[in-house]
Structure 1
């Protein structure tokens, strides 16, 4: 996907073989499983409806948002799950009136500083069934033209402005909903999801639901 995004730092055409033959960082993660550290910034203007309607660009509406944090200590958490993300997603869905996220989310930008995270977060947010993310990835479900396009921008693996990562992902979804994402535009993107995290081992997570309509 990054090949279609002129803002991506790493616009590389790589294969599974390339990843497996890249330097081992920490088993099983190779260098190409890990995001680069990038210089970058992003800005979002949040305004009241009465103000937003005066802008030339059509506003994108925040329909749902939630932030949840788990225990700081690794020993108190099951690191094979992300309880904080599951709870944050449920609350954001409820606020946005989303009953079936598998069918109602058109595009998603997730925190993927490491390759395994996209699959894990998809399952934890109920966007796919448990243990199915890998199989659906291989089928192409998360491609730009797939059932649920994920990280159409190339995600953080193509450029990771560390502190600004969440806003960078949000800006990508805003562009999708406005229809001005250029080469990585998802067709008929109306409702988008943005997920970000902070803390050791995914301690805390934030989920936004953005929509074309109020």
Structure 2
């Protein structure tokens, strides 16, 4: 099973502690082994089938925010501890900037998370953000400024519960979305909005992919 890089070290640490603890407490050693298995499961990185068209979800999880802002339409996705935490590009683009923004570490599913620490990926006309939570304080980027990424490509991951936001290009509005608050999404597979070229002359829009 593929797991997110560089998360092997978390599992390895638990295995090492299990070995050290074994002569003194088999229960503690077993608990460390269970923790190692849990870390591997949490950081799993399954393959995804990217649909032929449409803006795809950048993260697994539940939609918790749909809001129009000065910079554009924002869609926020809460990733629970059971979700895959590898993040993907919702659209093709060239990375212009990867910026760490310091902040708080409040619960990712609350409104207070708006002030949390984050890693911001800026593309030519849209932005995505890994937002840390109370326990998720490690964000990882797989891309650098100047990199060209494809829709659905892995761009990073975040460890141990968090939120992921996408700020759409300025021409998008809430009516363009094919998902809403409470909907369940899968990174790289669920269509969250049509690509502009996919909107027909009569205003019809593609239905979100079923996953």
Do they fold alike, i.e. is TM over 0.5?
no
Output the TM-score relative to the length of structure 2: 0.24
Larger Rg: 2
User: TM-score when scaled to structure 1?
Assistant: 0.24
Higher strand share: 2
